[in-house]
């Protein structure tokens, strides 16, 4: 039996979130962003569920991720490579597996031409984030025409959409429209990620590209969309011990028991994705209810180790085998992320490979 650290993937919640985003998108199509193993949720679980909801356009990072996805979904849908292609092998794979790369540089078009690429590409324009994207897409568009490569669409990415009132949002939208207007009529346009759907609801255009919202983390702190958490990340109590007042716990003896205590040892540590910054700081929700029907919350005591952490179980009736949640249904991932100075994206994608992804309905 493998160690009982788990990431339960609630497919019913994923479907709920997809439907909600579809409503928000209006007439625009959804390009579901499922890169990085569906933000750590498991591509093999997430992609078929979204396909079942009618999603026919998926975005991953590169040709490797695209290849994995093609194996899962077959030829049903469009697979967009957000980071484009890097070399000749990628270009050949794009042709063989019918990927739609996002193009930001002329060199990528040369690679595609050399591979006899017969598919389409998205052009990406930089409107102010200064990360990826061409400054002048008319040149790229002309090069596509010259090489007989179809332009499937034009996209840009927002830098500050999670702050809806940030001036960059409207500035980027204006620059995007200005660039897109220089292209021939009818080329599909895409600007918004999850938070963009809140920040710029009038800019859904033809395609929207939600990622984090699919997984149920609210993209804008004080404007919840009503999303449901998809991942429940947790573990099991593997040992219980009574320690006397004054006992030191875990590495570095950073916690000294202020009274006699009952300590639960959990089968989850930082190699599973539980941030070490939660040492003496975080909490876990017990997944069996108390007699009053409440959910008991236990403090993490001592340092989080690679494979374990310790919880103060002095006040609750738990057993070896009792399951706890670190984030998910009872403790929002966004709250844990704030506690450790990061974002839910990093928590989700940090869940270790060795953690079992189990789907539930
Ligand atoms: C180009 C692009 N579009 C869309 C997304 C999805 O963003 P979010 O997860 O914030 O919705 C990403 C994610 O990083 C991205 O890089």
DSSP β-bridge partners for residue 360: 10
Ligand 1 close to Cβ of residue 33 (< 6 A): yes
Residue 193 CB less than 6 A away from ligand 1: yes
Q: How far apart are CA 133 and CA 137, in angstroms?
A: 9
Question: Is the CB of residue 156 below 6 angstroms from any atom belonging to ligand 1?
Answer: no
Verify whether ligand 1 is closer than 6 Å to residue 268 (CB atom). no
Query: Pairing between strand 150-155 and 120-124?
Result: parallel
Residue 133: CB within 6 Å of ligand 1?
no
Q: What is the pLDDT of residue 3?
A: 81
Confidence of residue 290 (pLDDT cuts 50, 70, 90): low
Whole-angstrom distance, CA of residue 294 vs CA of residue 216:
23
Classify strands 150-155 and 99-103 as parallel, antiparallel or unpaired: unpaired
Domains belonging to the chain, first-starting first, are: 31-215 (3.20.20.10), 231-360 (2.40.37.10)
302-327: per-residue pLDDT in tens? 999 999 999 999 999 999 999 999 99
Report the nearest-CA residue for atom 6 of ligand 1.
211
Q: Which is the closest atom of ligand 1 to the Cα of 124?
A: 1
For residue 146, report the distance from its CA to the centre of ligand 1, in Å.
Answer: 30
Active-site residue identified among 35, 39, 124, 308 = 35
Q: Which of 150, 182, 251, 353 is catalytic?
A: 251
CB 99 within 8 A of CB 66: yes
Nearest CA to ligand 1 atom 13: 211
Q: Which of 24, 40, 33 is nearest to 226 (CA)?
A: 24
Closest atom, ligand 1, to C-alpha of 155:
1
Q: How far is CA 16 from CA 11, 12, 151, 328, in A?
A: 9, 6, 32, 15
Per-residue confidence (pLDDT) for residue 294, from 0 to 100 = 84
pLDDT given for residue 140 in this prediction = 95
Concerning whether 35 is annotated as a catalytic residue, the answer is: yes
> Long-range contacts: 77-80, Cβ < 8 Å, 24+?
77/51, 78/152, 80/31, 80/122
Count of Cβ atoms closer than 10 Å to residue 235 Cβ: 26
Which pLDDT belongs to residue 1?
58
Q: Tell me if 236 CB under 6 Å of ligand 1.
A: no
Percent pLDDT > 90 in the chain is 95
Is 251 one of the annotated active-site residues of the chain?
Answer: yes
What's the pLDDT tens digit per position in 187-209? 999 999 999 999 999 999 999 99
Confidence of residue 292 (pLDDT cuts 50, 70, 90): confident
Instruction: Count the Cβ atoms, other than its own, within 10 Å of residue 1.
Output: 3
**Which pTM does this prediction carry?**
0.96
Atom of ligand 1 nearest to the CA of 210: 11
Half-sphere exposure of 100 (CA within 13 A, CB side): 21
Cβ(310)–Cβ(263) below 8 Å: yes
Over residues 92-103, mean pLDDT: 98
């Amino acid at each position: 039996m493998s160690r009982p650290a788990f990431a339960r993937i609630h497919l019913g919640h994923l479907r709920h979130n997809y439907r909600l985003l579809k409503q928000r998108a209006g007439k625009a199509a959804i390009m579901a962003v499922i890169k990085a193993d569906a933000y750590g949720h498991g591509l093999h679980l997430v992609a078929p569920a979204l396909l079942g909801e009618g999603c026919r356009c998926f975005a991953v990072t590169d040709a490797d991720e695209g290849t994995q996805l093609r194996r899962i979904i077959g030829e049903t849908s469009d697979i967009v490579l957000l980071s484009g292609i890097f070399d000749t092998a990628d270009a050949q794979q794009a042709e063989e597996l019918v990927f739609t790369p996002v193009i930001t540089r002329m060199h990528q078009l040369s690679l595609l031409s050399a591979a006899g690429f017969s598919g389409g590409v998205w052009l990406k324009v930089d409107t102010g984030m200064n990360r990826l994207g061409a400054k002048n897409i008319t040149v790229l568009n002309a090069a596509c025409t010259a090489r007989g490569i179809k332009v499937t669409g034009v996209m840009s990415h927002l830098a500050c959409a999670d702050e809806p009132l940030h001036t960059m949002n409207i500035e980027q939208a204006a620059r995007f429209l200005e660039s897109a207007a220089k292209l021939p009529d009818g080329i599909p346009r895409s600007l918004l990620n999850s938070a963009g759907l809140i920040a710029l609801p009038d800019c859904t255009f033809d395609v929207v590209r939600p990622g984090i919202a699919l997984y149920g983390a609210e993209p804008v702190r004080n404007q919840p969309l009503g999303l449901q958490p998809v991942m429940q990340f947790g573990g099991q109590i593997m040992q219980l011990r009574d320690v006397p007042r004054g006992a030191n716990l875990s590495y570095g003896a950073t916690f000294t028991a202020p009274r006699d205590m009952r300590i639960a040892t959990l089968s989850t540590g930082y190699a599973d994705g539980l941030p070490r910054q939660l040492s003496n700081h975080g909490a876990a929700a017990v997944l069996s209810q108390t007699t009053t029907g409440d959910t008991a919350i236990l403090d993490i005591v001592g340092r989080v180790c690679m494979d374990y952490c310790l919880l103060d179980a002095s006040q609750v009736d738990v057993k070896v085998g009792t399951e706890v949640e670190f984030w998910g249904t009872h403790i929002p991932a966004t709250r844990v992320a704030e506690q450790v100075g990061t974002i839910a994206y990093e928590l989700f994608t940090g869940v270790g490979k060795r953690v079992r992804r189990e789907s539930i309905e």
